[in-house]
Amino acid sequence: MLKPIITGTQVAYYIVCQRKLWLFSKNISMEHTSELVEIGKLIHENSYQRKRKEINLEGIKIDILDAKTGVIHEVKKSKSLEESHLWQIKYYIYYFKNIGIEVEGIIDYPKLRRRERITLSDADILKLNDTLSKVEKINNQSFPPPVINKPYCKKCSYYELCYC
């Protein structure tokens, strides 16, 4: 059974950086200070305007839900951190499956003019169950996980909380 307090963003952050997940889960938000996040929001808001049917369900936020075709879309700025995009949309597919709705997923990269269709396998469900348990465990920790020191850290909105 799903725990609605876990969001797709938390699943994505778990893949990217567990420290970022912990900070975000403690309501420490730095996205408002990031120029890259602002660019991503502009791309999100200005892409696929005719299809815009954003939906919020118990903490998850789907960019586009096409109810006629049973397809959910996530709009992303670039393919950097692609694995986190993949698991975020797989989590959304999993979420819908658990409430009795079968959907497929598509990740849209409007700047790249690319689109990737995403499905959910039985192995994915096992990995997601494990990931959700680990997300919950991290969320319940008193202290943040250690800094990971990856090349993409310099572009992270939480950079100053980790390195300054």
| Orientation angle between helical segments 122-139 and 18-25, nearest 10 degrees | 60
Instruction: Please report the pLDDT score of residue 34 as a whole number.
Output: 46
Instruction: Please report the pLDDT score of residue 8 as a whole number.
Output: 92
Give the torsion sign (CA, 19, 23, 29, 33): negative
Instruction: Please report the pLDDT score of residue 45 as a whole number.
Output: 54
CA distance 36 to 1: 35
The model's pTM is 0.83
Q: Do the Cβ atoms of 109 and 78 come closer than 8 Å?
A: yes
What architecture is domain 8-163?
Answer: Alpha-Beta Complex (3.90)
| Binned average pLDDT, 10 residues per bin, the chain of 164 residues | 72 96 89 51 52 69 86 88 95 94 92 92 98 96 94 89 85
pLDDT digits (tens, 9 = 90+) for 63-85: 888 888 899 999 888 888 999 99
Instruction: Please report the pLDDT score of residue 160 as a whole number.
Output: 87
Give the domain ranges of the chain.
Answer: 8-163
Angle at 49 between CA 21 and CA 93, to 5 degrees: 45
96 by Cβ neighbours in 10 Å (0-12 / 13-18 / 19+) ranks as buried
